[in-house]
Amino acid sequence: MSALALALDIGGTKLAAGIITAEGEVRVSTACPTDRAATPAEVVAVLLAMSGRAMAEAKVRWADLRGVGLSFGGPVDFPSGKTVTCHHLPGWEGFPLRELVAERTGLRVVMDNDANAAALGETVFGAAQGCEHVLYLTVSTGIGAGLVLNGQVHRGANSLAGELGHTLVAPDGPACTCGRRGCLEAVAAGPAIARAAREALAGDEPSVLRDLDHLTAKEVAEAAAADPLAARVMAQAGGYLGLAIAGAVNLVNPQIVVIGGGVSQAGDCLFAPIRETVQRHAVPESVRDLRIVPAALGAQSALFGAAALGFGG
């Protein structure tokens, strides 16, 4: 029987669990909304109950598992296995998540933040297969990044490598959730795209976009093919993303840039300005063979990365 790992993903909006083989076959997966009022211990209890049901469906015992991989939606201290914090859920400061899951399962547990996990997932099972030097970005409500260098996740001195979302790209730009101004996340994440469209709609330029109070980045992207205002907003976001990516490409010289997250589904209205900006601002030798592609695993990149962690990461 193929080796199996239990993959767990704790996100601000969703909990997920899956039984995944070393070849990337999902035997069973399940998900449920995250209860934002739950304590960390209660979240773990829900996740392990989900895991138990998934294992029963797959006819898998704990003893059949190679290990547990855990993706967490926030910064983690990799050596200690503790969460640092979570911007979407309360109570996770310094929580011993890896230790608790290992205690409850009796298995070896490897934990990382969701961007690192997604980078690993795309490298092992997805769009970056065969590559040893990978830059992964997730662009959704926020912007994060993960690096795989020489085939290994690069975590940095304090497990904080990859905070590309807080790279300064627009001096004196909008306020960011981190408290500074002009961060990439403040001008190119989903909420920033929606805000830029609302601001543009305040003028007299005609547009098919409506419902300003509930406008989303997805609606802006869908309108971009036929709506000049929407196209301009998406191009601006793509340009900012391209600037940040160009800097990262100059620094680490990846073979491939993989972009995931909900905003990455926008298509050419986002990817074309990203690619054009990277070509214009990165060192020519670094971009000659560089590929910039959407994530192949979609919303499950981090879950597949968790499986890779469970197999030894």
How would DSSP label each residue in 227-283?
Answer: -HHHHHHHHHHHHHHHHHHHHHHHHH--SEEEEESGGGGGTHHHHHHHHHHHHHHS-
pLDDT tens string 109-132: 999 999 999 999 999 999 999 999
pLDDT tens string 49-66: 999 999 999 999 999 999
Contact (Cβ atoms closer than 8 angstroms) between residue 190 and residue 263: yes
Question: What are the mean pLDDT values of the chain's consecutive 10-residue runs (313 residues total)?
Answer: 92 94 96 94 96 95 96 95 88 96 96 97 98 97 95 94 94 91 96 95 86 89 96 98 98 97 94 98 96 96 97 83
Name the residue ranges covered by the structural domains of the chain: 4-114+300-310, 127-295
Identify the pLDDT of residue 205.
83
DSSP 78: T
Identify the pLDDT of residue 1.
62
> Distances in Å between the alpha carbon of 248 and those of 86, 245, 285, 295?
25, 5, 14, 18
Options 3.20.20.70, 3.40.630.30, 3.30.110.30, 3.30.420.40; which CATH number does 4-114+300-310 get?
Answer: 3.30.420.40
Q: For residue 21, what are the β-bridge partners?
A: 4
> Which residue is associated with the tokens 């598992």?
65
**What is the C-alpha R_g of the chain?**
20
The rounded distance, in Å, linking the Cα atoms of 157 and 85 is 17
pTM of the model: 0.94
- Terminal CA-CA length for the chain: 20
The rounded distance, in Å, linking the Cα atoms of 5 and 67 is 5
Options 1.10.1740.10, 3.30.420.40, 3.40.50.300, 3.40.50.2300; which CATH number does 127-295 get?
Answer: 3.30.420.40
DSSP string for residues in 29-57? EEEEE--TTS-HHHHHHHHHHHHHHHHHH
Same fold, 4-114+300-310 and 127-295: yes
How many residues in the chain? 313
What stretches of 162-232 adopt beta strand conformation (E)?
Answer: none
Q: Is residue 46 classed exposed, middle or buried when 0-12, 13-18 and 19+ CB atoms within 10 A define those classes?
A: middle
Closest Cα partner for 5 from 102, 49, 70? 70
